[in-house]
Structure 1
């Protein structure tokens, strides 16, 4: 599907990805000149205009309910009034998030819901009063009014004066015809009056109005930036709640990854070493029966069984290495990654620059990240060489794998790199893939040190 660029972008693609005639429609006017007539500028101006009446209503309601509730706290009625006021402020917050999304294009997640510790009205009121989200909505109601007054005054002044002066050549004739003066009065006292009434002054007025008109959208955008901060910071979920949601998601990824690893180990044991050991037991049983009748045949069967034992042991070693290699525990990342690189189908240069070892869990994740990336290089890249670099930056472990293959790799949904990115994200890690078509491919993993 075609990408819809921002209204302030350099061009727009239509639904089929092209403009009229099958090409991209480029704007003929530069951004600075067309900004005053862009829809985005008018939406932001509308947001500022609506902010004043809405903030007055919200401020009045919030202060009234808080004052009334605080005054009634000496009676039982104070708590229900406060709870009702806070709940209503949360409702206003929902309206403000919708308005910001419609006019500013700001997506703000819904804050965490109330969690009453029981049933009934008292439990609900307690949850409302305990909720930090409720009090942040009240703070928004109080803080937004002075800012709405200021932004309304600035935006309306610039917008009205800019367009009025820009269009002055179209309506200055009203003054001599209906006002009894030559034009718009710029200055006047008992002795002197200055009117904008000659062609030069009219032209200068229009040019000044043009400057005001061109600057107004950017001034309004700067004003709405503060609104974005207020809405996002006070009407969205708290950082703690967002972090809890992120950790719950990461925990799910960790659990799913662990379950998948257990299933893989069970499948490898069942289809590999276990099957060989069962066949080995049967062969040894047959060799035992033939030992007296045909010693030579029994010896051949024992010799074949010996080869099966070696194969089963190798499979068990590979499986154990896949769980956690002994060389990593004993000698660290440098030796372990060198061992992995030696099994890659292309030459790999490994450079590990670490003065000390990170936490064992992080070390293991770094090892398996490089191992999986080198497997991808062997299977899919068509590369002739690769390199692995590991270093530390402050409290982060950096791992970078580069190959000169065909490129085109991506961490899109369903790919192996997407699963790898999910595993890193579960421990606050980051995976960055830079793989243009034609190569080279550069995959950088960033992990917490946690030593």
Structure 2
């Protein structure tokens, strides 16, 4: 009799599916790409921080020691301009390795600095962007040593936690870049814009003065000179030939009328009396009446803006209507002026051939620059074939007590 052993239940192991081929999966890095970029940034912190620290200390110490001489201040100004370049390099490095998107600070407006060379040099010395970059480079040396040693040690000792260490250290780097190398709110950018706008205003004022001088010299002044000569000749002929003298006086009287008309036109070009006395509505209606195209003027203003804003609005519409007369080929046009909160809006339309643009000539570009100089806007919508709509926007400022007509 043979003993039989109970048979154990059979366990069938799953059979793995046969691979399509014998190729191994492609090799993969242990960390993500951003982790390696952060590690690269942290390891390069030390050489960059060392170079920046040496540069800043050399500039500050040497230029401070030489401030008693004539070369100290220029050396400091040039050194701070170099610090700006270091800041630009650091922003690019942070953008490439840390993904930090930091806007470039506004460029230093040295070309229009006050008081010539000394003013431009002083502007460079007090540049906040350069001083923040210098502070960044000064405090980075101990941080660069810390990150270099920590990451290098973690590569061989703390490999499993290296991604977390790199991310924590990189976040500190990101905070320093954003805090010290980014533009300091909008104030710094507005300062640069105002410096540029001031140059536009100065150039525009100089051009207007030259135009007034030319108009006086070629117009009214020449007529007055001829008038004086004619009256002198008439005085000489008064006893000898009264009839000829009377004719010369009559001619001189005509010259006086023409000179007065030219002076009125010149005064209107500087600041028309109707604008001072009656405001934009009447002044724009006067301009529209001289346009070769029928113009409808609508002004919805509860009060009068400041005289300077009113003058810019008047001359803007005046020049736009001149363009309508000369270039548009329009059959009708309209001017709308109204106030929207703290802005004065102007819209000039015509049904002409269109095609106007800011690049088409100096007139439109000059208007855009003039409005931009007072924080205004100038938009041209003029497709080929028309119609053309030009919208101008100016800041609204109420008139002061001394600006009210008497």
TM over 0.5: yes
Q: Distance in 1 between matches of 2:42 and 2:93?
A: 16
Distance 2:392 2:175 in 1: 31
Whether 1:95 aligns to 2:42 is: no
Deviation at 1:382, TM superposition (A): 1.0
**Partner deviation per Cα, 1:273-326 (whole Å, 9 max, x = no partner):** 000000111111111222222222221111111111111000000100111111
Q: What SS is found at the alignment partner of 1:383?
A: coil
Bigger Rg, which one? 2
Q: Distance in 2 between the 1:125 and 1:421 partners?
A: 33
Mark the CA change 1:360 to 1:126 in structure 2 (over 3 Å): closer, same or farther. closer
Contact 1:407–1:436 under 8 Å retained in 2:
yes
Other-structure match for 1:207: none
- The partner residue of 1:362 within 309, 318, 325 is 309
For residue 240 of structure 1, report the CA deviation from its aligned partner: 2.0
Matched residues in 1 for 2:175 and 2:331: separation? 50
Structure 1 residue 343 displacement after superposition: 0.7
TM-aligned CA deviation for residue 131 of structure 1: 3.1
Aligned to 1:237: 183
Instruction: Give matches, 1:235-274, under 5 Å.
Output: 235-238=181-184, 239-274=186-221
Farther-moved stretch of structure 1 (131-140 vs 91-100): 131-140
Q: Deviations over 1:180-225 (max 9, x none)?
A: xxxxxxxxxxxxxxxxxxxxxxxxxxxxxxxxxxxxxxxxxxxxxx
Distance 2:81 2:227 in 1: 72
Retained in 1: the 8 A contact 2:357–2:380? yes
Q: 1:56, CA displacement in angstroms?
A: 3.1
Alignment match, 1:9? none
Flag structure 1 segments of 5+ consecutive residues without an equivalent. Answer: 1-44, 66-75, 77-85, 119-123, 146-226
Query: SS at 2:352's partner residue?
Result: coil
Cα distance in 1 for partners of 2:239, 2:362 equals 58
Per the TM alignment, residue 95 of structure 1 is displaced from its structure 2 partner at its CA by 2.8
Work out whether residues 87 and 134 of structure 1, in 8 Å CA contact, stay in contact via their aligned partners in 2.
Answer: no
Do the aligned residues in 1 keep the contact of 2:107 with 2:192 (CA within 8 Å)?
A: no
For the residue of structure 2 that corresponds to 1:446, the secondary structure is strand
User: Any idea what the Cα deviations from partners look like across 1:104-143, whole Å, max 9, x if unmatched?
Assistant: 9x89435667x9xx9xxxxx9999999345567899999x
- Give the whole-Å Cα distance in 2 for the aligned partners of 1:372 and 1:359: 20
Deviations 1:389-441 (A, max 9, x none): 00111111001111111111111275210011111111001100111111111
Moved more, 330-339 or 291-300: 291-300
Residue of structure 2 in register with 1:131 after alignment = 131
CA distance in 1, matches of 2:140, 2:317: 48
1:411 to 317, 333, 358: 358
Secondary structure of 1:352's counterpart equals strand
Output one character per residue of 1:221-246: Cα deviation in whole Å (capped at 9) or x when no partner: xxxxxx99997886343322211111
Tell me which residue corresponds to 1:385.
Answer: 332
Preserved CA contact (<8 Å) 1:405 1:438: yes
Provide the rounded CA distance (Å) in 2 between the counterparts of 1:423 and 1:343.
24
**Secondary structure of 1:292's aligned partner:** coil
Q: How does 1:255-294 map to 2 (within 5 A)?
A: 255-294=202-241
List runs of 5+ in structure 2 lacking aligned partners: 1-31, 52-60, 62-79, 111-117, 119-123, 148-172, 399-406
104, 114, 125: which one aligns with 1:109: 104
The 5 Å alignment of 1:395-410 reads: 395-410=342-357
The TM-score normalised by the length of structure 2 is 0.62
SS at structure 2 position matched to 1:345: coil
Q: CA deviation at 1:329?
A: 1.1
Counterpart of 2:266 in 1: which secondary structure? helix
TM-score normalised per structure 1? 0.56
1:56 maps to what in 2? 42
RMSD: 4.3
The equivalent of 1:429 in structure 2 is 376
Taking a change above 3 Å as real, the CA distance of residues 256 and 426 of structure 1, as seen in their structure-2 partners, is same
Whether the 8 Å CA contact 1:287–1:299 is kept in 2: the answer is yes
Number of residues paired by the alignment?
296
Offset at residue 445 of structure 1 (A): 0.5
